[in-house]
Amino acid sequence: MSFEIKRVGIGMLPTYAGIPESLRVESVLRVAPVDRGLGGLALERHEVRPYVKWAEQHDDASGPTSWPEKYEVDNWGIFMAFEEQEPLGGIAIGADAPRGLRSAFEEGDVAVVWDVRVHPEARRRGIATELFMRGADWARENGFRRLKLEVTSANLPMCLFCIKVGCELAAIHRYGYETVPEASDEAMLIWFYELERRDSK
């Protein structure tokens, strides 16, 4: 059956938060310095013992329901995918620097893809792609030139998704999660999507 994408307000964040975001990890990307870093940083794919990341839902203090308290979400682009009123996925794009996290928004013309999720049972149906493109259209219409995505090196499916939709890897922060115990061995990968690209074709 088909699904539809709708822009939603912050009143739908509890429903948004109820969409599972678990990820089964079987392969990860590891950073390999070339010529001790002088030749750049390479990413190598490594198989790992399978495990599930983000198996538990975020609690109220860190999940989507907490965004209005922490960030200026009134003019964010928040979209959800539904099938017969059943929520299947969502994307949240930040249009202004969150309070206390301005470094995440490096320029005024950059919007940040803050969250993307699709219910595990609804994946491989093109839902994430449709959500991303709807969000990109919204960002373009609101004067942004670029979307920024931060992806952990343990999320290989998301990295492959970034490539699929036309993003380019812009930066590798080898120790980006060093202070996060559950992700201290993962690298932070920064991807950009040029919003003007589709208009120039």
pLDDT on residue 95:
76
Kindly report, residue by residue over 144-181, the tens digit of the pLDDT: 999 999 999 999 999 999 999 999 999 999 999 999 99
How many other CB atoms are found less than 10 A from the CB of residue 161? 18
Residue 87 phi, psi dihedral angles, 5° rounding: -70, 130
List, in sequence order, the alpha helices (H) in the chain.
13-17, 67-70, 127-141, 156-165, 197-200
Q: Sort strands 110-118 and 146-152 into parallel, antiparallel or unpaired.
A: parallel
DSSP string, 145-162: -EEEEEEETT-HHHHHHH
Q: Are 123 and 87 in contact (CB under 8 A)?
A: no
Question: Residue 48: which of 156, 165, 169, 196 has the closest Cα?
Answer: 156
Q: State the DSSP code for 31.
A: E
Domains of the chain (ranges, CATH numbers): 4-200 (3.40.630.30)
pLDDT tens, residue by residue, 26-57: 999 999 999 999 999 999 999 999 999 986 65
The lowest-confidence range among 59-63, 149-153, 170-174, 187-191 is: 59-63
Q: Provide the pLDDT for residue 63.
A: 87
- pLDDT value of position 40: 94
| 87 within 8 A of 4, measured Cβ to Cβ | no
